[in-house]
């Protein structure tokens, strides 16, 4: 075959854009391609030399996808290739028309955040109809837009219906103008100065969540750790140590910071307290007494914890670690052996084989057991995915076989 010169560069869609009855002349497609580089291609029976056909075939072949190359592998006649491509895309017209009608029926102005997005989607559907030789009138476009307004814009729709727009472009221009005016009103509304906004901007918010009287003990430990970090950064740690010589200014600063991170109930209780050390010790004693309340609840949660009640290993592991943390904060240690035994002894009866397999593994730590269960869960998910894929393929083959048998009958 004779290769096409490097100067012959055109868009890939040009081949399918020209009608079958037209003469395929390169100068008509792109002006910078010389006529002698790409000859004319006429219908069957035209007097074209083998060199001209070879040039046309190579050029068309260069702009085909691998799918068409495999299908037309042995074809060397450019007109036959042209005819095959036209028939192929004519068959797709009916399917594209059905899809365009579906998109048109489900298009709604209220589903879009802006007029521009709606207009772009509508124009895409209109282009689909045009490609399928179906023209949409201006009246249809206007009615589609107005009758898909949200119910809250009923008055706005009535106003536009009274205007009797002649073209769809007039309606869109008016909607764009209204949208711009609405955005300007919103911008001016939120930019207006108010006393409340100015006052609230001066209030300094907390650096971390405020401490509540009946919160969990772990919340108290987190709060206490944040307070200690702040004191250490500002060289104020001595203010919560008994017997230290701290100035009144340091005490006031620490007391202000601690109260800023207390719930309103705590603020009311310690309103008259002037010593940060006393406040610190009082909070510590308060949450120390909460241990007697949280420990029975943590033990009950531990007893009710059941591996078979969870949909995934990760969810079970998260619940177990939360309960273990609660028990440790109540000065009750939970060993790896207890966590392993808790997990293995709460398998479902249908998981007896897994239970015995993991028992025989004799894991040294709870983390080893969890990693093994996670790996096993991942493998089961992949097997289920492959099984579903094979089942779907098998059902598809059965349907095709039945259609073939019904056709033979």
CA dihedral 292, 298, 301, 302 (to 10 degrees): -120
Of 9-23, 81-95, 265-279, the range with the lowest mean pLDDT is 9-23
Q: Which residue has the higher pLDDT, 337 or 394?
A: 337
* Phi, psi angle pair for 193, to nearest 5°: -80, 135
SS3 262: strand
Q: Using one digit for the tens of pLDDT, what is the confidence trace for 127-143?
A: 888 888 888 899 999 98
Q: 10 with 66: CB under 8 angstroms?
A: no
From the CB of residue 321, how many other CB atoms can be counted at a distance below 10 Å? 14
Q: Rounded mean pLDDT of 333-353?
A: 88
Residues forming a β-bridge with 211: 262
Collect all residues with Cβ–Cβ distance below 8 Å to 398 and sequence separation of at least 6: none
- Top mean pLDDT of 7-11, 41-45, 87-91, 227-231 is at 227-231
3-state secondary structure 267-335: HHHCCCCCCHHHHHHHHHHHHHHCHHHHHHHHHHHHHHCCHHHCCCHHHHHHHHHHHHHHHHHCCCCCC
For 76, other C-beta atoms within 10 Å of its C-beta total: 13
- What's the rounded mean pLDDT across residues 4-32? 34
Cα separation values, 64 from 57, 81, 263, 393, Å: 11, 10, 71, 30
The domains of the chain are located at: 14-94, 110-191, 218-289, 293-390
pLDDT band of residue 395 (cuts 50, 70, 90) is: low
Judged against a pLDDT cut of 80, whether residue 17 lies above it is answered with no
Q: What is the 3-state secondary structure (H, E, C) of 67-109?
A: HHHHHCCCCCCHHHHHHHHHHHHHHHHHHHHHHHHHHHHCCCH
Rounded to whole angstroms, the Cα distance separating 24 from 40 reads 5
The pTM for the full model equals 0.43
> Per residue in 331-342, pLDDT tens?
889 999 999 999
């Amino acid at each position: 075959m004779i290769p096409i010169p490097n100067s012959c560069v055109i868009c890939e869609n040009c081949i399918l854009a020209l009608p079958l009855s037209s003469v395929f002349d390169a100068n008509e497609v792109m002006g910078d391609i010389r006529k002698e580089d790409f000859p004319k291609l006429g219908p069957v029976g035209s007097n074209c030399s083998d060199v001209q056909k070879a040039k046309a075939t190579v050029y068309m072949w260069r702009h085909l996808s691998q799918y068409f190359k495999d299908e037309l592998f042995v074809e060397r006649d450019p007109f036959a290739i042209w005819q095959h491509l036209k028939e192929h895309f004519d068959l797709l017209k009916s399917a594209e028309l059905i899809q365009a009608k579906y998109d048109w029926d489900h298009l709604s102005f209220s589903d879009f955040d802006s007029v521009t997005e709606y207009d772009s989607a509508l124009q895409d559907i209109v282009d689909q109809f045009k490609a399928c030789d179906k023209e949409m009138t201006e009246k249809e476009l206007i009615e589609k837009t107005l009758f898909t307004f949200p119910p809250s814009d009923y008055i706005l729709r009535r106003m536009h219906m009274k205007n009797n727009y002649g073209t769809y472009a007039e309606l869109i221009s008016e909607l764009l103008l209204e949208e711009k005016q609405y955005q300007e009103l919103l911008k001016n509304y939120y930019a207006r100065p108010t006393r409340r906004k100015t006052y609230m901007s001066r209030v300094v918010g907390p650096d971390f969540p405020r401490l509540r009287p009946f919160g969990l003990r772990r919340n108290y430990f987190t709060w206490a750790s944040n307070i200690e970090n702040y004191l250490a950064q500002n060289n104020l740690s001595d203010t919560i140590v008994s017997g230290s010589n701290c100035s009144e200014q340091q005490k006031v600063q620490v007391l202000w910071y601690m109260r800023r991170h207390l719930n309103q109930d705590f603020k009311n209780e310690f309103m008259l307290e002037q010593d940060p050390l006393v406040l610190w010790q009082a909070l510590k004693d308060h949450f120390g007494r909460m241990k007697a309340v949280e420990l029975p609840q943590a033990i009950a949660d531990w007893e009710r914890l059941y591996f078979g009640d969870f949909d995934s290993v990760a969810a079970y592991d998260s619940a177990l670690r939360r309960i273990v943390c609660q028990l440790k904060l109540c000065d009750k240690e939970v060993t790896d052996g207890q966590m392993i035994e808790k997990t293995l002894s709460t398998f479902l009866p249908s998981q007896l084989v897994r239970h015995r397999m993991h028992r025989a593994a004799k894991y040294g730590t709870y983390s080893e057991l969890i990693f093994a269960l996670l790996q096993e869960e991942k493998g089961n998910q992949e097997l289920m995915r492959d099984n579903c894929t094979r089942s779907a393929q098998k059902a598809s083959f059965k349907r095709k076989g039945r259609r073939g048998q019904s056709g033979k009958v």
